Structure 1
Amino acid sequence: MVDIPEPDPLAKLYQRAEAAIPRIAEDVLAAFFARAAGYQQLPPQLVSREISAAIALNLRLYLHCLRERRPPRPEELTEQIGAAIRRAQQGVPLEVVLGTYHIAAQVGWEAMAALAEPDELPELLSSVPGLLGYLSVAVPAVAASYLHEQQTLDAEHREARRALVTALLTGAPAEPLAERLGIPLAEAHTVLHLRLGPPPQSDGADPQLAARTLVRRLHAELPPHTLAAVNHTGGTLLLPADDPGEAPVDGLATALALSERLHLAAGTTLLTGIATAATRAAIPAAVHQATDIADLATRLGRPPGAYQLDDVLLEYQLCRPGPGRERLHRILDELTQHQDLLWTLRVFLASGHNRHQAAAELHIHRNTLNHRLRRIATLTGHSPADPAGARILAAALTVRDFAPR
């Protein structure tokens, strides 16, 4: 077993190494560029000043701690932590930042070995535990500060994206936010309004964790450039229909395929309303329409899936404000005091005007059904037995159900 001595604070080797720090720092910097592609993208002035100074600082601190036979103290790593924060802000990947510490350790120790005389092998060996001790403290501190800054930047980015989505959904100016985020805004969009069932979870599971997991699964399915305002109950997606530099896409086909993928990823029920906006200014109206479509499909008891305006066209139009809707509302006013007649009308229309089927479902004699139908005609002015009257009464029921006063 090799006996590694304690470092000698007065060792000549350490003194020569400290004097050679400017040259060693240049070698370390050259190794950075040779092995860490992330540093090749940084501005030259940043490299020549800040990073060179940071390398020299780390080398001096290591030798200082080596002589005192201790790891670095937290307050001695202030500059290193500040540099890690700046690398996070500059977009240098964490693995590149941490890798440079190991590059510096290797190149620096090799430089010290080149300076060592044959009789200085004990001093060279004693520098290794100190080097490992230095890295064991400095690297975690730098990683923690980098990750904290990255989380802050990510949170700011998410907030800015949410603000951008909100601006587009409400018709507020969105271009300054998009420019700040570096997001090219399309002119046309397909709008998806999502209605999600409860998140899947096992017995005893944390509901909040299940909700967050559901949202992460949904986001993982979104195509690039999708703008989303989604939580565990649903939300709104904006799919660009004309990405700059890209070939035109079939927005509807893309939306239908995405809805299917989201349904599978969610693991719960998903009902989607789909509308299109030809311009950014039309997005708020399209959002309103997509929301109304999803609402109508839900209230109509439609199964999970994606729905367009054509799928609920009659109900959608009947629910629009206007004199026609008000007149349809009034047609059934006389029946509100006769719930048996109102229910008879619903069953008769739902049976396709089949009197035998309707009577059986109502558990009444067919003559009783005929009597009720005549009373409905008298009270409303429209006979359920007449095709034109039946259409009017069916429309009046739709308005009553989905556009209450």
Structure 2
Amino acid sequence: MHDGVAMKAGKVSLLSNGIPKLEGKLYDVTLRVSAELTDIVDEVLASTVESDDAYAHLPTATAHDIREHITFTGELWFRTLLTGEDLTPKDFATIQEVGRRRANQGIPLSSVLRGFRIGCLCMWRAFLRGAGEDREVRDGLLFAVSPYLLQHFDKLAQGTSAAYLDEQYQRARWKEALRYELITLVFRFPDDETRFRKTCEALSIDPTASYVAAVMDVSMPEVPPDRIEHEFDQLLLAIAHSIKADVKVLVRTIHRGHLVVWIPSTRGDSVLITDGLMQTRAQALIRFIPGISRIGVGLANTGAAGWAASMEEGFKALDSGHSTKGCDACFMYSDVALYESVLKSGNALRYLDSIIERLAHEPYLLQTLAAYFEHGQHQKRASAALKVHPNTLNYRLTRIEEILGATLSDANWVARLAMVVRLRGL
């Protein structure tokens, strides 16, 4: 192991494994510097925190883990130089485990690699301080130790980086599998609340939170099939940014040719408040995100069955094509909820049909009623839309009251007649 290869400059030789063979004063300086490892670790840690925000506010356990790793890396470096022994498989296994931990701790890979560069620089400064003005030692450091220092830390950085990326890949596949399971529960096993809760918790999603389904018409005409999933991921990021939500708590799928995104409501908000917020969000998505042309929004609900119900409501809202909130591409289930309940009642339908039949005997009455409600029961605007004199409109409304025995100032009759207009539109 001590058969060296002569250096062209300086008096340091290389061992057969490429590690510098330290002798004399250079060995003594290295030994002295190794005794200062705690101070070097402090310098590395302080420089890293100062230069990278990713390390500025770490949990105590994570910060302690990073300090231990810097110490371990320094010990490896000095052990290698002082003994001439290369890194062992056990050393590499430890380095790779650190890479996987950093991925799970959420520290960016760029920050992890910056830490290695800072560590290398701080180590080199410690050696220069140790060498002082001794030219022979400086030459040994310059021509033998510094090239190996870069090589050594680059090897550690590569091992860490490979493990980090592999962990990210495995986690992404695992999370994708969990999201698929979550969607399967919503579609096929909505009553399995235990599996729903466990799957949500594994994805860091609150299983008790209310979620709203937004059903979207999305156009991606020039995207090749192998890029569709990537494009949907990018679209989800844009949606999260637009509504100021963490993309991790959004859940998406493709169903019946539409993009379905479940969005959490704010805890404590009522269904009414959530519906108003979602209407604003949906309109913003249509305005600012290219490719989204129409959105149907369900009502907030909880659990797998609630998610499924909200999605079906979103589809019904979209299919109704009816919007009363100032956006001809945003359709809220709350606008058709009463109408939906009436459609499920045979007696209610027969009653409303009888109103339509009574009014259909006289021309323009149903048309007049439709214009009246379409313009918010504002007689002047309704008469202008119908191109009739306000007195004519007033006569027709009075005639409707006479035929039905109704009073248009009665909220109950207003609700019935508004429903009649909806049924006639169908």
Q: State the match for 1:25 in structure 2.
A: 37
Q: What secondary structure sits across from 2:107 in the alignment?
A: coil
Q: Is 1:88 the counterpart of 2:114 in the alignment? A: no
Among 126, 137, 141, the alignment partner of 1:111 is 126
1:241 maps to 2:266: yes
Structure 1 residue 33 displacement after superposition:
2.8
Q: What per-residue deviation string (whole Å, max 9, x for no partner) do you get for residues 227-264 of structure 1?
A: 32234841132331326xx9999322321232233334
Counterpart of 2:224 in structure 1 is 206
Alpha-carbon distance change, 103 to 236 in structure 1, aligned in 2, over 3 angstroms = closer
Aligned length: 329
Aligned to 1:361: none
Change (3 A) 1:121 1:128: same
Equivalent of 1:53, from 72, 78, 101? 72
Letter in 2 for 1:115: G
Residues in 1 aligned to 2:234 and 2:335: alpha-carbon distance in whole angstroms? 30
Q: Which residue, out of 120, 134, 141, partners 1:124?
A: 141
Amino acid at match of 1:216: Q
Q: Which amino acid aligns with 1:286?
A: S
- Aligned partner of 2:297: which letter? I
Q: CA deviation at 1:124?
A: 1.4
Task: Provide the C-alpha distance between the structure 1 equivalents of 2:40 and 2:137, rounded to a whole number of angstroms.
Answer: 23
Deviation of the 1:30 alpha carbon: 0.9
Q: Is the contact between residue 228 and residue 237 of structure 1 (CA under 8 Å) also seen in structure 2?
A: yes
Show CA shifts across 1:17-66 (max 9, x none): 5534652432332123312333863537646755523331144346777x
Q: 1:272 to 1:263 in 2, by over 3 A?
A: same
CA RMSD in angstroms, aligned pairs only: 4.7
TM-aligned CA distance change 1:321 to 1:134, over 3 Å: farther
Contact 2:342 2:349 in 1 (8 A): yes
Q: Distance in 2 between matches of 1:267 and 1:8?
A: 64
Question: Against the structure 1 CA distance between its residues 210 and 155, is the aligned structure 2 distance closer, same or farther, given a 3 Å change threshold?
Answer: closer
Counterpart CA distance in 1 for 2:278 and 2:205 is 20
Between the aligned residues of both structures, percent identity stands at: 17
CA distance in 2, matches of 1:147, 1:57: 23
TM-score, length-scaled by structure 1: 0.62
Q: For residues 296 and 52 of structure 1, what CA distance do their matches in structure 2 show?
A: 65
Q: In structure 1, what is the Cα distance between the partners aligned to 2:207 and 2:270?
A: 15
Offset of residue 139 of structure 1: 2.3
**Structure 1 pair 283–207 and aligned structure 2 pair: CA distance change class (3 A):** closer
TM-score normalised per structure 2: 0.60
Identify the residue that residue 297 of structure 2 maps to in structure 1.
274
Q: 1:397 to 1:270 in 2, by over 3 A?
A: closer
Counterpart CA distance in 2 for 1:326 and 1:21 is 94
Could you tell me which residue of structure 2 aligns to residue 250 of structure 1? 273
Quick check: 1:133 aligned with 2:151?
yes
Distance 2:328 2:90 in 1: 58
Please say if residues 188 and 242 of structure 1, whose CA atoms lie closer than 8 Å, have aligned partners that are also in contact. yes
SS at match of 2:316: helix
**C-alpha distance after superposition, 1:330-384 (max 9, x if no partner):** xxxxxxxxxxxxxxxxxx99x969xxxxxxxxxxxxxxxxxxxxxxxxxxxxxxx
2:215 corresponding residue in structure 1 = 194
Question: C-alpha distance in 1, partners of 2:40/2:75?
Answer: 9
Local SS of the residue matching 1:224:
coil
Question: Are the structure 2 counterparts of residues 113 and 313 from structure 1 closer, same or farther at C-alpha, using a change threshold of 3 Å?
Answer: closer
C-alpha contact (below 8 Å) 1:4/1:125 kept by paired residues: no
The equivalent of 1:285 in structure 2 is: 309
Q: Distance in 2 between matches of 1:317 and 1:247?
A: 21
Distance 1:273 1:235 in 2: 10
8 Å Cα contact 1:193/1:235 also seen in 2 = yes
| Aligned pair partner of 1:320 in 339, 344, 351 | 344
Deviation at 1:105, TM superposition (A): 1.4
Deviations 1:180-213 (A, max 9, x none): 5554566544x23313243142xxx534325522
Give the 3 Å change call, closer, same or farther, for CA 255–17 of structure 1 in structure 2. Answer: farther
